[in-house]
Amino acid sequence: MTLHSYRPIRLILAGLILITMTSSARASAQDGPKNLVWISVEDMSSWLGCYGDSTVPTPNVDRLAEEGIRYVNAFATTPVCAPSRSTLITGKWTTELGSMHMRTGKPSGAALSRDPEAYADIPNYEAVPSPEVRCFPELLRAAGRFCTNRSKTDYQFKAPATTWDQTGGKAHWRRRPGGDQPFFAVFNLTVTHESGTFPKRPRQPQVVAPASVTVPPYYPDTPTVRDDIARTYDNIAAMDRQVGRILNELEDAGELENTVVMFFSDHGVGLPRGKRCIYDSGTRIPLIIRWPAAMNRRGIDERVVSFVDFAPTALSICGIRPPAWMSGSAFTGEYVEPGTGLAFIHADRMDAVLDRTRAVTDGRYRYVRNLMPERPRLYNVAYAENIPMMADIHALRASGGATADQWQMVDETKPAEEFYDTASDPHEVKNLIDDPAQTERIASFRSALAAWMQDTGDLGLLPEGDMVRQRLWNGKTAKPTTAPPTLAIEIIGGRRRAVIECQTEGAALGWRFEGEPNWRLVDGPILLPDEGAKIEALAHRIGFTPQTKRWPVDAIDH
């Protein structure tokens, strides 16, 4: 058999300089669909009618699929939210950014209460990409699009304020100035999050009875397990209603047929052995892209796509060539590139619990390399312990009565390697690693995974504290700080213009007049009024502490 070989990360030939965005780039961006909307839902596998699961009605998502393209081999890069978002917003692997651990920054009190020593050698830090990396909405803003995010910015680093025109619970494309500027808008729907099964959370209206759900073979079939599954489906039905409202807003404003809508989830289902696990249940996601009807793009796409491809694809849809530093490839739009045929996946520290797993799939077969086989597959994360079915899983472990299909739930260790064929074993419970018929195929996958880890310089292989101090902080013992922005004056045609710069390589630069709520991108000299105003400047290298500075306009030297 042959296996698509892994294409190494492209060499970075030049840094990104926003002020060199040309008029031709802006024109290209305006030639494609006018707008782009991302509908990102949380903790959800493809439990949808359009993917063959009719347990609950999902008419609005099904409409997107009927009127668009449904991707059947789409994968998260990791089965947990914040590291996934760091890849989505940058187009870089988390193992390149140093954002693979859930989470960077201040640990939760619940995690510390279970293991006070878990973070003893881990400083409070942010991921630090190489200096040319930008959050991709900044590139869309530079090309003239109004960018909004409603509302998570949980990227494992603080996003520079230049990333969005508006972000937060009230951010919306309808608030763009003038009402006709092309836009990119993100809507993050949280109703399907794993916390939706917690006993203290209000329940959504019941759509499905627990007795009617299908229980995967790796779960014990108990009333509590059935109730958690049914409640998850009820939350999916509620999510679908929210999708309908977003589509109605676009239709009512006459924008739906000017807009590409991308619908996806941030990883697999938020139940045990879904979220935080590298199997299909944790990483295969629904992905639907609806194009304007006049473009007549419908059907099913079997190409293997990954979150690392989403940022370059968003740019490609908007008519912007993805920069060479992005690690993925656009799979639709103006700048489509060939794919590798493979999706690479990682799982690392989950809150206070350290683990390290790498995997690769071609959509059918999955090879898993457990770098810490002494740890169980289903480890006890404090947050997930709030899911009621966890008590039944603990009881199953204690009973000694697990079935052959439940070994991943109860075993105290993992095999060093795993291999699955999802065509014959969709729940991935039959490990084929020792099957002689798979020897050649396993060797190919093993080689591809090793090449990916080497080519991306997998930072997750380092002890976390060493990674932070030696690689992210360049041998320092504290988080670096961006140099303050500087301002110089040039006079053109008798008018003063401010030139804002920063000595920190890769710093994003923004400016605004005092009193303005939002930061504008620095894309050239800024025309100054004669008096009576103050100009503010922002400099922020991702992963560094940002700096701002303010100058009274009438006090700036001529």
**Annotated active-site positions, please?**
81
* Residue whose pair of structure tokens reads 């074993």 in the numeric block: 425
Give CA–CA dist 516/1, Å, rounded.
61
Region of 532 (left: φ > 0; alpha: ψ -120 to 50; beta: rest) is: left
Give CA–CA dist 424/286, Å, rounded.
21
Q: Are 316 and 333 in contact (CB under 8 A)?
A: yes
Give CA–CA dist 43/190, Å, rounded.
8
Give CA–CA dist 479/507, Å, rounded.
15
Q: What residue type is assigned to position 521 of the chain?
A: L
Give CA–CA dist 256/245, Å, rounded.
12
Which residues, 6+ apart, have CB-to-CB distance to 316 below 8 Å? Answer: 322, 330, 332, 333, 334, 335, 336
* Residue whose pair of structure tokens reads 């003893």 in the numeric block: 120
Give CA–CA dist 287/346, Å, rounded.
20
Per DSSP, the chain holds a count of helices (H) and strands (E) of 13, 20
Q: What is the radius of gyration, based on Cα positions, of the chain?
A: 24
How many C-beta atoms lie closer than 10 Å to residue 143's C-beta?
22
Tokens coding 510:
């923004």
Tokens coding 463:
């002890």
Tokens coding 80:
């947990």
What secondary structure does DSSP assign to 109-173, as a single string?
HHHHHH-TTTTTT--S------TT---HHHHHHHTT-EEEEES---SSSPPPTTS-SEESTT--G
Give CA–CA dist 289/292, Å, rounded.
10
Tokens coding 512:
């605004």
Q: What are phi and psi of 76, to 5 degrees?
A: -70, 155
Give CA–CA dist 279/219, Å, rounded.
15
Q: Are 503 and 483 in contact (CB under 8 A)?
A: yes
Q: Are 438 and 432 in contact (CB under 8 A)?
A: yes
